[in-house]
């Protein structure tokens, strides 16, 4: 399985009223790394013909992140079946390696022209294996 990751530092505008990273911000990070992984692994022609939409997010919050924490956000594709792909995103404290958030998201591939579900092509599946 191909893993994609990046580091980020918690900024003031990531925080909620309790001075922890806002849950909505974690969802944004899940979507951002998923998009970045797709864009880094594929060619423009593939991205022009296929689009992904979220069908389901399942997010477990284990620990809080605070202002200034450096986080590692990593993702990989766990499973693909028909037009559906299960993507895992893990967000950890880069200093302690403690898992903060684990998201399992079901994405559906659509044909960019018809906006109908499209089976994930084998060539795309191999990119993420």
Domains of the chain: 4-128 (3.10.129.10)
pLDDT tens per residue across all 129 residues of the chain: 799 999 999 999 999 999 999 999 999 999 999 999 999 999 999 999 999 999 999 999 999 999 999 999 999 999 999 999 999 999 999 999 999 999 999 999 999 999 999 999 999 999 998
Angle (CA) 47 50 52, round 5°: 100
DSSP string, 40-65: HHS-HHHHHHEEEEEEEEEEEE-S--
What is the C-alpha to C-alpha distance for residues 60 and 26, in angstroms, rounded to an integer?
10
Q: pTM of the entire structure?
A: 0.94
């Amino acid at each position: 399985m191909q893993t994609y990751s990046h580091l980020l530092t918690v900024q003031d505008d990531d925080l909620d009223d309790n001075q922890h990273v806002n849950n909505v911000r974690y969802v944004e990070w899940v979507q951002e790394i998923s998009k970045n992984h797709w864009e880094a692994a594929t060619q423009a022609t593939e991205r022009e013909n296929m689009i992904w939409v979220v069908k389901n997010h399942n997010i477990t919050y284990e620990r809080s992140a605070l202002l200034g924490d450096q986080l590692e956000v990593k993702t990989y594709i766990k499973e693909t079946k028909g037009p559906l792909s299960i993507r895992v995103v893990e967000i950890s404290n880069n200093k302690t390696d403690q898992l903060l958030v684990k998201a399992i998201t079901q994405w559906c591939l659509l044909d960019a022209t018809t906006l109908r579900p499209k089976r994930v092509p084998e060539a795309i599946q191999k990119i993420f294996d």
